[in-house]
Amino acid sequence: MYYISCMARKPSSTEVPPVASQGTESVHNRLVVLRAERGLSRQELADALGVHYQTVGYLERGDYNPTIALALRIADYFELPVEAVFSLSPFTPMSTTIYGR
């Protein structure tokens, strides 16, 4: 019987960082606000979109950028233009937009 040892190792200083930090641009979104407005859980939104509920959490936290197809499905689900849900720059808080505060 053979065993394979899996030991964590410290990356060397010459190793390339993970793909997510190699110039990947962050995509900001309003998913938390949109879900809250409609009283949806992550699971309910995930079921409607055909994704795992953790994917919704990753999107909300900005840990994951959606594919074009997923971004379009999300915008379609909320009946909003994609640019109302996603942006390359941070969104202005709703209170500032509405009340100027």
Q: Domain-by-domain residue ranges, the chain? A: 24-89
**pLDDT, average across residues 85-90:** 94
27 has a pLDDT exceeding 50: yes
| Distance, CA of 92 to CA of 7 (rounded, Å) | 45
pLDDT tens, position by position, 61-78: 999 999 999 999 999 999
Q: Is the whole model's pTM more than 0.75, yes or no?
A: no
Contacts (Cβ under 8 Å, ≥6 apart) of 64: 55, 58
CATH number, domain 24-89: 1.10.260.40
**SS3 of 54-80:** HHHHHHHHCCCCCCHHHHHHHHHHHCC
